Amino acid sequence: MLDAQAIQQIADELVEAGRTRTPVPLLHTRYEGMDIEDSYAVQKLWASRLEEQGKRVVGRKIGLTSKAMQAATGITEPDYGVIFDDMVLENGSVVEWARYTHPRIEVELAFKLNQDLKGQALTGQSTTLFDVLDATDYVVPALEILDSRIEMQGRTIVDTISDNAAMGAMVVGGRPVRPHDVDLRWVSALLYQNQEIVETGVAAGVLNHPAQGVAWLADKLAQHGQSLRAGDLVLAGSFTRPAWVYAGDTVYADYGPLGTVTCRFV
């Protein structure tokens, strides 16, 4: 466990790394004994620093929920991060590539909540998939843009959580659907990069059902005295591996009946 001074030092270091676009060295190699709870404490303090700058929390992201992503990172448990208002981009956005540290793209579903979701540590009852579906206004396709304020090579879960679960931004598009109107397990997507298919996936790859990721998140947040709120936007986790993108690339995800999401990097 780290003391409060070390957690503050790391959080401030990550704020500066985000400002300068210069990733810092791996945390787990510099702070012996740093654990998952330390990492979430760092993330929480880092987020509060950005809120002090005027940013507004509008939701949460869940990471590492699929076997594809766990295999790609070598990390075997989910994590979560914060979504700020300036991270949510419209379909067709032109994205400044240099704003991020060599960004990557993932294919996901986003849940828009119309009810609060409080997890087991706050209510005494585990959050279920059905609780999530009942609390969801609509589900919509999204692309997540991964960013990095910590070096990529050799990361552990400690580094990833501290780095806000690598959240950079998200592009929302396609056709919103009510959660009971489609079988969300079978939502699929084709990810194109410059007119070439680079990834395909099915949403059941996220813990067998994307809503199960949101249920996990509600219970995990409750352990830290937090909860999901009505109006929150929740990225439920990628069901493809991340694809590296470069300046000049166009990214296009085809979700079939749920429409398309696209953005271009310049």
Strands 104-113 and 93-95: unpaired
Distance CA 235, CA 132 (A): 13
**Is the pLDDT assigned to residue 65 strictly greater than 90?**
no
**pLDDT value of residue 94:** 98
**Is the pLDDT assigned to residue 72 strictly greater than 70?**
no
**Is the pLDDT assigned to residue 69 strictly greater than 70?**
no
Strands 188-193 and 250-254: antiparallel
Instruction: Read off φ and ψ for residue 109, nearest 5 degrees.
Output: -115, 145
Instruction: Read off φ and ψ for residue 151, nearest 5 degrees.
Output: -50, 145
Instruction: Read off φ and ψ for residue 74, nearest 5 degrees.
Output: 75, 15
**pLDDT value of residue 102:** 87
Summarised one tens digit per residue, pLDDT across range 128-154 is 999 999 999 999 999 999 999 999 888
Summarised one tens digit per residue, pLDDT across range 22-36 is 999 999 999 999 999
44, 38, 10, 37: which is closest to 226 by C-alpha? 44
Show the domains of the chain with their CATH numbers.
56-265 (3.90.850.10)
Quick one: average pLDDT of 193-211? 95
Distance CA 221, CA 227 (A): 6
Strands 188-193 and 196-202: antiparallel
Per cent of the chain over pLDDT 90 is 90
What is the SS3 assignment for 237?
coil
Distance CA 102, CA 138 (A): 31
Tokens of 42: 């760092």
Nearby residues of 29 by Cβ (< 8 Å), 6 or more positions away: 154
**pLDDT value of residue 70:** 67
Let me know: does 75 contact 64? Beta carbons within 8 Å.
yes
Summarised one tens digit per residue, pLDDT across range 77-129 is 789 999 999 999 999 999 999 999 989 999 999 999 999 999 999 999 999 99
What is the SS3 assignment for 217?
helix
Average pLDDT, the chain: 94
Where does the pLDDT of residue 3 fall: very low under 50, low under 70, confident under 90, or very high at 90 and above?
A: very high
213, 223, 222, 230: which is closest to 62 by C-alpha? 213
> What type of residue sits at position 76?
T
Partners of residue 38 on adjacent β-strands: none
pTM value is 0.95
**pLDDT value of residue 197:** 98
Distance CA 46, CA 44 (A): 5
Let me know: does 159 contact 250? Beta carbons within 8 Å.
no
Where does the pLDDT of residue 71 fall: very low under 50, low under 70, confident under 90, or very high at 90 and above?
A: low
**How deeply is 151 buried, as exposed, middle or buried, from its count of CB atoms within 10 A (0-12, 13-18, 19+)?**
middle
| Four-residue CA torsion sign, 250, 78, 31, 223 | positive
Cα-based torsion angle of the residue sequence 81, 262, 187, 62 in order, rounded to the nearest 10 degrees: 0
